[in-house]
Structure 1
Amino acid sequence: MEKLNEIAQKAYECAVRRGKIDPDNDSNNNLHRDLLEEVAEVFECTGEKSPHIKEYLDVEEELADVIIVALSTLHHFKCDIDSLIEAKMNYNKNRMD
């Protein structure tokens, strides 16, 4: 199984290829807006079959997009995603709110 850092690398390369992320100029990037747009698409879902990936629901496909954009953004900022997720999960397991 691939680590999140490896998946993020592939997602980032795809985002760069598609013109979603400019690796050389952060002022050209709207990374937070892109993530917000993907989250907004989740709220538009109807719970029906995805029109693009037949074996999944539309909400599942859109949540996958949220994850992909988040991973690409973290990779852009050179984050060790595997370590971050582990640290955040450890922090959350002790929270009481």
Structure 2
Amino acid sequence: MPVHWSDIGGRSGRGGPPKTAESLRTVPVDEGGTGALLMHVDARPSKERLFTAERGEPLNFLRRKAEWNCACRAPRAAEGEAAEREGREPV
């Protein structure tokens, strides 16, 4: 089931349409991903932005980087533990 940016009230960070034809992209998402995205849309604190910081404020570069690093920490730790158990270098 395709989900279009406009279907979920999406707006760019600047509140306008994509600036170029190359900016408009189709990203394939399986049904599980679509369901998770739609649940996220229903629960989000901001109705203007799809991805925000915890309290609904926009993600600027530093905040986005901090959120990304935080999201990467658990998988990195799990990979490190698995590599140690298996006697190999982490990926």
Whether these two folds match at TM > 0.5 is no
With the length of structure 2 as denominator, give the TM-score of the two structures: 0.29
Of structures 1 and 2, the one with the larger relative CO (CA 8 A, separation 6+) is 1
With the length of structure 1 as denominator, give the TM-score of the two structures: 0.28
Q: Which has the larger radius of gyration?
A: 2
